[in-house]
Amino acid sequence: MSAHDIGGLFLHILLLGSVAVGGLSTVMPDIYRYMVDERGLISGREFADAYALAQAAPGPNALWVALVGLQAGGVPGAVASIVAILLPATTFTCIAIALQARRPDAPLALALRRGLAPVAVGFMLASGWVLARSVEHGWPGYALAGATALAVLRTRLNPLVLLALGAAAGVAGLI
Amino acid sequence: MPSPLEIFVTFARVGISGFGGVNFWLRRVLIQEKRWITDAEFLEGFAVGQIIPGPNVYNLSIMIGHRMGGWAGAFAAIAGIMGPPFLVTLALGLLYRRYQALPVLEHAIGGMAAAAAGLVIANGLMLAAALPRRARPWIFLLLGFGGIGILHWPLLYVIAGLGPLATWLAWRDEARRRASR
């Protein structure tokens, strides 16, 4: 991956970071589109693997952005990606602090939150869908994703336990 | 007032304990153990964090760090919550890059990735269940999902198309509700 590629990735993620209202899962499908479909920097499977690894690792889930960057461009790719996604968040939060925006019930903030919430949920579901498809395990993979989703909704199992069960199912050859 | 170093160490502890997400540890350490903020302040910060782009936990950490130690505190919180977990995750990623072709690892991580997809879907469904039982939010949900997940349109176009309309409609509703009171 050339410096030019890393620069392009940095700018794309920077732009998405500025609109990632509702968390990073809302922009995941577009980072996937850019890295996998448009630029071919990594494969769909590598993208899904990096996301899963970051979930299993300690720390904010946002670190999946560093891992897809690492997979595409080594340590410089990882640093460029995580800085690009966090820079807008840092800037906007500092502005909010400076403006003492401590009123989340101000009319515009309320309208933004209420209006954008359903759109953000749609993006989040699209993220799950994109990930499930890129695992490339056919219907057993979809079944495992579905069973995990059901387990989250119906039980109080820790997500880490569910990831471990997924890994076990993979090693056992079930998917 | 805690020193920047104490803020850094506290957030580093939260970050490095946060397997599978950091929120739980943020609450436990900052509210229950250190008593730096109250539950209500945490929720308020959380609500502000939700309308600011970026990871909510990260935005919240900046706000708490700032409250506890000014701008130095804010940046100490950033360094603590992201720095050490970044290094650990990077090490895992480098191991993956080296051994990703091993069949056992390939299968294990493939299974984990399918499960991780399930976690994201479950999160989306839980949030969807909390939406008002009216047609409009669900139409916007489907438009967002369809544009990104099915049609693979660039996110910026979808947001530019849906965002202003959704915000304006919510604004108008709220104005009407206030007027009718």
pLDDT in tens, B134-160: 999 999 999 999 999 999 999 889 989
Domain-embedded: residue A148: no
Give the residue numbers spanning the domain of B107.
101-130
Average pLDDT of the segment spanning A18-24:
86
Percent of chain A with pLDDT over 90: 63
Please tell me whether residues B159 and B84 are part of one structural domain: no
Please tell me whether residues B30 and B89 are part of one structural domain: yes
Are A126 and B149 contacting, i.e. CB atoms less than 8 angstroms apart? yes
Please tell me whether residues B13 and B91 are part of one structural domain: yes
- Asked if this assembly's ipTM is beyond 0.90, the reply is no
pLDDT in tens, B98-143: 998 899 988 999 999 999 999 999 988 988 998 888 999 999 999 9
Please tell me whether residues B14 and B81 are part of one structural domain: yes
**Axis crossing angle, helix B56-99 with helix B4-17, rounded to the nearest 10:** 60
- The CA distance from A35 to the nearest CA of chain B, in Å, is 12
Please tell me whether residues B25 and B75 are part of one structural domain: yes
CA separation for the pair B152, B165 (Å, rounded): 21
Please tell me whether residues B114 and B171 are part of one structural domain: no
Q: Is the dihedral of CA B164, B167, B173, B175 positive or negative?
A: negative
Query: How distant is the alpha carbon of residue B100 from its chain centre?
Result: 28
Q: Which chain B residues contact residue A151 at CB under 8 A?
A: 118
pLDDT in tens, B69-97: 999 999 999 999 999 999 999 999 999 99
Give the residue numbers spanning the domain of A27.
3-103
Query: Which residue among A29, A124, A144 sits closest to B111, beta carbon to beta carbon?
Result: A144
CB contact under 8 A, A167 and B109: yes
CA separation for the pair B102, B106 (Å, rounded): 6
Residue B51 in this model has a pLDDT that exceeds 90: no
Residue of B nearest to A75 (CA): B90
Reading the block at residue B153, the tokens are 């349109």
Asked if A20 has any chain B CB less than 8 Å from its own CB, the reply is: yes
Domain-embedded: residue A25: yes
For residue B163, which amino acid is it? G
Asked if A111 has any chain B CB less than 8 Å from its own CB, the reply is: yes
Domain-embedded: residue A116: no
Please tell me whether residues B79 and B119 are part of one structural domain: no
Domain-embedded: residue A158: no
Domain-embedded: residue A55: yes
Domain-embedded: residue A71: yes
Please tell me whether residues B68 and B23 are part of one structural domain: yes
> Which of B120, B131, B140 is the best mutation test for A, with the most CBs of A within 10 A?
B120
Average pLDDT, whole number, for chain A? 90
Please tell me whether residues B56 and B19 are part of one structural domain: yes
CA separation for the pair A70, A82 (Å, rounded): 10
How many structural domains are present in chain A? 1
Reading the block at residue B91, the tokens are 């090490």
How many structural domains are present in chain B? 3
pLDDT in tens, A95-142: 988 887 556 567 777 787 788 889 988 998 999 999 998 887 789 999
